[in-house]
Amino acid sequence: MQNDIHKIEQECLELLETKIKTICSSVDKLLTKFSQENILTRVEYDHFNLYYGNLISIRQEIKVHIEKIEEVIFDKIQMWECSIKKESTVQDVTMNLKNMKRVSNNIPSFKIKINERIDEMLKCYKTTHGAMTFARLGTIFNQGRDGIGQSIISEHKSFQGYSLSLFNLRTQRHNIHYVLDQLNGNFVDKKQLLKRYDEFHDIYKKTVKENLSPNMKLDKLILDIKLIAGNTRQNANRIVWNEDLTYKVPRLATNIFALWTLQKADHYFEAEGLEDQNNYLFQPHAAQVNL
């Protein structure tokens, strides 16, 4: 029964589309004749008026229906927004944001506009309620099984810091010991690699800690990097690992990673008060550090 109804609807739509195309084609022919300064007959003028009137009627009907669709959809969006703005629970906010995102995910025509409204709601909620409550919101989204919460986290700017913290949490499971266990070969000195990594990590943490502040000045760190690099020149196709290069590379890498972390520390300061605030920093994970 349902299939029959769908088939009839499809046939009606195709007939309507064909009729509109026929009207447009007929109008085009009359317009071409008119533009070439050919005199139209009374009958042709009558046909033109009929076709044009039909198109106007169709346009008005479609316009009214489109406006009605948008009104119904965005009235509902506005209702959810009002619920979010009220002093409601985190669970209520979560539910209403997911309602908005569900519509965004399933109606592409409204996706950009609704996503912008979600961005506004998230920004306002984060500013009003602080990092701790916002992180709780993220936790609820991340634990959802329908995928809608995860799409909010991944697609909306307000959750970039939280998303980074999740990434860091996952990569921490693959620490240096895990990475070394995956290395194979006859010439792999795992003890030496572990020692070098520990040296790197200690200096990296110390450098970040010394410089990390809301109004940090990184000129000295940048200067240190330039001084370490000096005038070293190497051919990319034939690198000579002499004593000077062996000394410089670990220190250069440590400072560059620290600079990278510090320059992208905005999310860290937004997460003030959270127990896992350090996870809001961009950090090199063990597999990236090859010293």
Tens digits of per-residue pLDDT, 85-113?
987 789 999 999 999 999 999 999 999 99
Identify the residue whose tokens are 């194979």. 184
Nearest to 134 by CA among 147, 125, 143: 125
Helix, strand, coil percentages in the chain from 3-state DSSP, rounded to 5 = 80, 0, 20
Q: Is the pLDDT of residue 291 over 70?
A: no
Pick the more confident residue, 5 or 219.
219
Q: Residues 221-228: contacts with CB within 8 Å, 24+ apart?
A: 221/255, 221/258, 221/259, 221/262, 222/259, 224/255, 225/252, 225/255, 225/256, 225/259, 228/252, 228/255
- Cβ-contact 97, 85 below 8 angstroms: no
**Digit-coded pLDDT (tens) for 32-60:** 888 888 888 889 888 888 888 888 888 88
107-132 average pLDDT score: 94
Q: What is the pLDDT of residue 127?
A: 92
Nearest to 56 by CA among 20, 90, 101: 20
Using a pLDDT cut of 70, give the percent of the chain over it. Answer: 95
Distances (CA, A) of 170 to 96, 136, 174, 279: 29, 18, 8, 10
Q: What is the pLDDT of residue 1?
A: 61
- Cβ-contact 160, 268 below 8 angstroms: no
Q: Is the pLDDT of residue 138 over 60?
A: yes
Q: What is the pLDDT of residue 2?
A: 62
**Digit-coded pLDDT (tens) for 216-244:** 999 999 998 888 877 767 666 776 666 77
Q: What is the pLDDT of residue 37?
A: 80
**Digit-coded pLDDT (tens) for 54-81:** 888 888 877 888 888 899 999 999 999 9
Q: Residues 110-116: contacts with CB within 8 Å, 24+ apart?
A: 110/70, 110/73, 114/77, 115/155, 115/156
